[in-house]
Amino acid sequence: MTDDEKFYPPAIKRGDAQYGEGYSEALFERLNNLDPGFSMIFQRSVHGGLYDRDVIDHKTRELCAIAALCVTGMFNQLRAHFSAAASYGATDREILEVIVQMFTYVGAPAVLESIKVYEEWIAQGRTMSGFGSEE
C-alpha cells in the first residue's frame, strides 16, 4: 500500500490544523495497521468529512465535542479536544465553562471527572494526547 492509498490528504490537512503537525498521520497509521479499510472510512468521514464542514466554526465544533465527550463519559478523548479547541481560539475559561454547563445534563460525577482531566491538561502545559499520540 502506498502513502497515497493510506492517507486521505484533506484528513491529514484538517488533523494537522486541529491537533498539530504529525498527529493525524500517526493516528491513521495506527488505524492502518489494524484495519486499512476502516482507517480510510474514518479519515474520509471524520477528519476529511465532518470536521471540514463550514456550517459552524471550528472553535464551536470543538466546544460541542468537549460537551459530548463529557456527557458520554469518553474522558480519554477530552485532552485532544481541549487542545483542538484552544488551537481554534477557545480560552481556558470557555473550555471549563462548557464542562461546568454539562452538570445540568449529566451530573456531578462526569463533570468532576472532566474537570480532573482539564486540570491535568493545564498542569501538563496543555499538551496533546489521544489515539494519535504516543501517550
pLDDT at 128: 77
- As a whole number of angstroms, the distance between CA 19 and CA 9 comes to 15
pLDDT, position 23:
86
116 and 64 fall within a common domain: yes
- Local confidence band at 52 (pLDDT 50, 70, 90 cut-offs): confident
51 pLDDT more than 60: yes
Amino acid 88: pLDDT: 95
pLDDT score, position 132: 59
Residues 35 and 69 in one domain: no
The rounded distance, in Å, linking the Cα atoms of 130 and 133 is 5
pLDDT of 18 reads 86
CATH of the domain at 99: 1.20.1290.10
- Residue 131: predicted pLDDT: 59
User: Residue 63 has what pLDDT?
Assistant: 98
Indicate if the pLDDT at residue 135 is higher than 60. no
When divided into structural domains, the chain yields a total of 2
Domain shared by 63 and 103, yes or no: yes
Question: What average pLDDT does the structure give for the chain?
Answer: 92
The reported pLDDT for the residue numbered 2 is: 66
Residue at grid coordinates 463529557: 70
Locate 24 and state its grid cell: 493525524
Contacts of 25 (CB under 8 A, 6+ apart): 7, 12, 15, 132
Task: Band the pLDDT of 58: cuts 50, 70, 90.
Answer: very high
Q: Residue 43 is part of which domain span?
A: 3-52
pLDDT in tens, 81-109: 999 999 999 999 999 999 999 999 999 99
63 and 45 share one domain: no
Distance CA 13, CA 22 (A): 10
Q: Please tell me the distance from the alpha carbon of residue 84 to that of residue 112, in angstroms, as a whole number.
A: 21
